[in-house]
Amino acid sequence: MSGTLYVVATPIGNLEDVTLRAVRVLGEVTVVACEDTRRTRALLTHLGLSTPAVSYHEHNETARAAQLVSRLLDGDSVALVSDAGTPCISDPGYRLVREAAAAGIDVVPVPGASACIAALSASGLATDAFLFAGFLPAKRGARRARLEELAGVRETVVFYEAPHRIGAMLEDLAEAFGPREVAVARELTKVHEETLRGTIAAVAAALAADRRRGEFVVVVEGAKAPDRKAETMPIRDRVAELEAEGVSRMDAVKRVAKERGLPKREVYREIVDDENRSPSRAERG
């Protein structure tokens, strides 16, 4: 009979967050598949366990998944863990889970900590529906393009971000999303845990003034439902309205183009034509 693949969540900082079930499963399985054997060995030792561990990470995923599936088919049970939090959530594991399920093996989640859910639960932002967007691209151009795609999402959006990119990321976020509420969670469950709440610009300024590093989750308010007025008002007025909210002209044009299903160049043309037609502000007095 085949063994079971357990997908086991581990703490994201505070070791007390390991569940009783996780401890039992980690002690009962034949082998623990983990990202970093040294790190997982330290956790297992802390828990008083001596289960063997093998590495499973993005560089050996394909070969290792095949080996682990073959062991599972032979009757071994395997616990998949990542360095911290829930495996497969911006972490390796997806391929193993997929291949195990395809081979008819039982895949059982053992839930516990995840930075996304922890940050969201204390964010004070709407939690009835949310979009987990993981890490943004590291390169600025690709990051901005992705943020632009997400700017119209109505649900709360959750991002992970590396400490050395948090400043640039919040800058791009403010530009693409406009003046929205954000909750930035730093070092969750650890000694220096904190959640900064406010507008994106205010939180970005607070973080810029405080150079301490840490692990971050950024939770952002979703886009407001487009009001019919915004969709029907003259294009130039809608662009001006967004600019008054702090959105750059380029982003305002992109937003309006998306709202109306028009190409950007058409929105630009409308504004330019309008500007040429109407008297300047000074002339209007």
Q: What is the contact mask toward ligand SAM in residues 14 to 43, using x (rule: CB under 6 A)?
A: ------------------------------
Q: Does 161 bind ligand SAM (CB under 6 A)?
A: yes
Phi, psi angle pair for 27, to nearest 5° = -80, -25
- Enumerate residues 87-106 that contact ligand SAM by CB under 6 A: 89-91
Place of tokens 């561990």: 53
Q: Which of 223, 224, 173, 219 shows the shortest CA–CA distance to 197? A: 219
Q: Which of 76, 96, 82 shows the shortest CA–CA distance to 30? A: 76
Q: Does 69 bind ligand SAM (CB under 6 A)?
A: no
Q: Does 116 bind ligand SAM (CB under 6 A)?
A: yes
How far apart are CB 266 and ligand SAM at their closest, in Å? Answer: 39
- Enumerate residues 175-234 that contact ligand SAM by CB under 6 A: 185, 187-190, 215-217
Q: Does 85 bind ligand SAM (CB under 6 A)?
A: yes
Q: Does 13 bind ligand SAM (CB under 6 A)?
A: yes
- DSSP secondary structure, 23-42, as one string: HHHHHHSSEEEES-HHHHHH
How far apart are CB 207 and ligand SAM at their closest, in Å? Answer: 13
Q: Which residues contact 28 (CB under 8 A, 6 or more apart)?
A: 77
Q: Does 123 bind ligand SAM (CB under 6 A)?
A: no
Structure tokens at 85: 């939090």
Q: Which of 251, 242, 44, 249 shows the shortest CA–CA distance to 145? A: 251
Contact positions toward ligand SAM, by CB under 6 A? 12-13, 82, 84-86, 89-91, 114-116, 160-162, 185, 187-190, 215-217
